């Protein structure tokens, strides 16, 4: 059997949903588990709903949710030729919550609200496929994938989930050749909804591929496959035919927005190959990611925009030894904040971080107990794997380099504003 993941862009419009049966036609004789994300930018819109709710702006939250209801209901009706009543149950659950007052933490409410994006999209897609003769069985993934209650970044309970997959998904796949479910979400042992981190549907698909011992996983995207750079940022970006797990995990780690960084491990652990293919040109080959030695890769370019450089300098010329370094890392850990690059010198330490303003401010405040702290914002962290001087010069241009770190394989430079 194979696992497919269709991301938000692949179900963002009427036409794109109508294109799904054509893609699936090619796999008629296969058993498929299909993971689908929320449509288009629904998750962002739901984030706005939950923010308004948490700030006590109930009417605004309800109004924002009303817009989403309208979009989903209208789309379903266009696809099916009649209203889809099942959507109402999902709407009602959220509206009940929005009528209450928040008494728990933000992350809890975030997960209870945001998960509906995936429930709505899969409900619509499943009905549409059945309506088009592509028979499939819809599953609420919250009955299968158990997580802890680390809301917004929940961790899978592998043992429980494995048994559930055995007891529920495997028999369903005997009966029906397609099982269709949600990415990105799960539930705790108390049946609270959880989410796995933004863009987490790739990871859900990999979890299923692992648990079902799938023969491969395919992520369907609006690009030809994995490129060596974001074509929007680098006009000479080229398609890569083949990669290994290691290269893919490094790319995702440095910030390439191709797949969720957690996706590779469950696949690598079982040697399951990953394909990244275009839902616009489904017959084209895409990128093949597996366990292999791959030579002659082009330079792989990753830009991380909106970076901040935090410079920590010791006040009295004392060395930044292991004690102070450990303190800095403890602060990172307690804020759930990860540096993208660090560099130590005798009496200072440099940290490059995502400029999430609340976290940067907290970090600066807490490190100021031990250091003089300076923060510089609006910077770009450029990473090039398999670099050479020509590409480095081309990409840095006339921008000044504030920091540079390199290994034989990878170079990272922090660039000042243009």
Using the rule CB under 6 A, which residue among 7, 186, 225, 286 binds ligand ASP? Answer: 7
Query: Can you tell me whether residue 315 is helix, strand or coil?
Result: coil
**For every residue of the chain, which 3-state class applies, written as one string?**
CEEEEECHHHHCCHHHHHHHHHHHHCCCCCCEEEEECCCCCHHHHHHHHHHHHHCCCHHHHHHHHHHHHHHHHHHHHHHHCCCCCHHHHHHHHHHHHHHCCCCCCHHHHHHHHHCHHHHHHHHHHHHHHHHCCCCCEEECHHHCCEECCCCCCCCECHHHHHHHHHHHHHHHHHHCCEEEEECCEEECCCCCEEECCCCCHHHHHHHHHHHCCCCEEEEEECCCCCECCCCCCCCCCCECCEEEHHHHHHHHHHCCCCCCHHHHHHHHCCCCCEEEEECCCCCCCCEEEECCCCCCCCCEEEEEEEEEEEEEEECCCCCCCHHHHHHHHHHHHHCCCCCCEEEECCCEEEEEEECCHHHHHHHHHHHCCCEEEEEEEEEEEEEEECCCHHHHHHHHCCCCEEEEEECCCEEEEEECCC
183 is an interface residue for ligand ASP by CB under 6 A: yes
Q: CB of 306: closest distance to ligand ASP in angstroms?
A: 18
Site string for Mg ion, 33-72 (x = CB under 5 A): ----x-----------------------------------
Using the rule CB under 5 A, which residue among 2, 3, 5, 8 binds Mg ion? Answer: 8
7 is an interface residue for Mg ion by CB under 5 A: yes
Near ligand ASP by CB under 6 A, which window of 13-21, 72-80, 199-207, 367-375?
199-207
Which one, 7 or 117, has the nearer CB to Mg ion? 7
Using the rule CB under 6 A, which residue among 199, 225, 250, 288 binds ligand ASP? Answer: 199
Structure tokens that stand for 129 in this block: 């496929």
Residue 200 interaction partner, one of ligand ASP, Mg ion, none, beta carbon < 5-8 Å per kind:
ligand ASP
Which one, 120 or 382, has the nearer CB to ligand ASP? 120
Residues placed in the known binding site for substrate? 43, 118
117 is an interface residue for Mg ion by CB under 5 A: no
Q: CB of 75: closest distance to ligand ASP in angstroms?
A: 16
Q: CB of 206: closest distance to Mg ion in angstroms?
A: 14
Asked if residue 218 lies in contact with residue 3, where contact means CB atoms within 8 angstroms, the answer is: yes
Q: How many CA atoms lie within 13 A of 292 on its CB side?
A: 13
Residue 43 interaction partner, one of ligand ASP, Mg ion, none, beta carbon < 5-8 Å per kind:
ligand ASP
Which one, 45 or 384, has the nearer CB to Mg ion? 45
Site string for ligand ASP, 42-81 (x = CB under 6 A): -x--------------------------------------
Residue 198 interaction partner, one of Mg ion, ligand ASP, none, beta carbon < 5-8 Å per kind:
ligand ASP
Q: CB of 27: closest distance to ligand ASP in angstroms?
A: 21
307 is an interface residue for ligand ASP by CB under 6 A: no
| Helix H or strand E encompassing 92 | helix 86-99
Strands laid side by side in the 242-244 sheet: 137-139, 178-182, 32-36, 2-6, 216-221, 274-278, 287-290, 242-244
Which one, 144 or 309, has the nearer CB to ligand ASP? 144
Which one, 39 or 384, has the nearer CB to ligand ASP? 39
Residues 114-143 that bind ligand ASP (CB under 6 A): 117
Residues 8-27 that bind ligand ASP (CB under 6 A): 8
Cβ neighbour number for residue 71 with a 10 Å cutoff: 15
Q: CB of 184: closest distance to ligand ASP in angstroms?
A: 4
Residue 184 interaction partner, one of ligand ASP, Mg ion, none, beta carbon < 5-8 Å per kind:
ligand ASP
Near Mg ion by CB under 5 A, which window of 32-40, 114-122, 282-290, 364-372?
32-40
Instruction: Name the residue whose CB lies closest to ligand ASP.
Output: 201
Using the rule CB under 6 A, which residue among 109, 184, 254, 363 binds ligand ASP? Answer: 184
286 is an interface residue for Mg ion by CB under 5 A: no
Rounded distance between C-alpha atoms, residue 258 and residue 38, angstroms: 17
38 is an interface residue for ligand ASP by CB under 6 A: yes
- Contact set with Mg ion (CB under 5 A): 7-8, 37
- Contact set with ligand ASP (CB under 6 A): 7-8, 37-38, 43, 117, 183-184, 198-201
């Amino acid at each position: 059997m194979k696992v497919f993941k269709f991301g938000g862009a692949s179900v963002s419009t009427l036409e794109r949903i109508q294109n799904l049966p054509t893609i699936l036609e090619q796999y008629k004789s296969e058993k498929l588990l299909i993971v689908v994300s929320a449509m288009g930018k629904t998750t962002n819109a739901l984030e706005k709903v939950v923010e308004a709710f948490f700030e006590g702006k109930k009417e605004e939250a309800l109004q924002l949710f009303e817009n989403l209801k309208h979009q989903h209901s209208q789309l379903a009706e266009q696809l099916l030729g009649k209203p889809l009543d099942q959507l109402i149950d999902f709407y009602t659950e959220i509206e009940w919550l929005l009528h209450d007052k928040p008494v728990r933490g933000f992350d809890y409410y975030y997960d209870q609200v945001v998960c509906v994006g995936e429930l709505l999209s899969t409900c619509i897609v499943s009905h549409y496929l059945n309506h088009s003769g592509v028979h499939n069985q819809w599953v609420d993934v919250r009955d299968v994938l158990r997580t802890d209650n680390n809301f917004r970044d929940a961790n899978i309970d592998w043992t429980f989930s494995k048994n559930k997959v055995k007891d529920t998904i495997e028999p369903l796949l005997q009966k029906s050749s397609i099982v269709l479910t949600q990415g990105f979400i799960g539930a705790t042992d108390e049946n609270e909804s959880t989410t796995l981190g933004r863009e987490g549907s790739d990871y859900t698909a990999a979890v299923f591929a692992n648990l079902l011992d799938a023969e491969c996983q395919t992520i369907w995207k609006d690009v030809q496959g994995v490129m060596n750079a974001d074509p929007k940022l680098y006009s000479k970006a080229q398609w890569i035919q083949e990669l290994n797990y290691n290269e893919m995990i490094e790319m995702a780690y440095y910030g390439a927005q191709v797949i969720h960084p957690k996706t590779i491990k469950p696949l690598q652990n079982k040697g399951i190959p990953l394909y990244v293919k275009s839902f616009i040109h489904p017959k084209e080959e895409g990128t093949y990611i597996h366990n292999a030695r791959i030579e002659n890769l082009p330079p792989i370019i990753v830009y991380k925009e909106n970076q901040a450089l935090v410079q920590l300098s010791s006040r009295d010329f004392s060395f930044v030894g292991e004690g102070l370094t450990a303190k800095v890392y403890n602060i990172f850990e307690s804020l759930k904040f990860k540096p993208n690059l660090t560099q130590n010198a005798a009496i200072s330490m440099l940290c490059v971080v995502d400029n999430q303003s609340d976290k940067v401010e907290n970090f600066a405040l807490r490190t100021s107990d031990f250091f003089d702290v300076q923060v510089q914002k609006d910077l770009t962290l450029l990473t090039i794997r398999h670099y050479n001087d020509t590409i480095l010069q081309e990409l840095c241009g006339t921008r000044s380099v504030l920091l540079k770190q390199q290994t034989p394989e990878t170079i990272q430079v922090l660039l000042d504003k243009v």
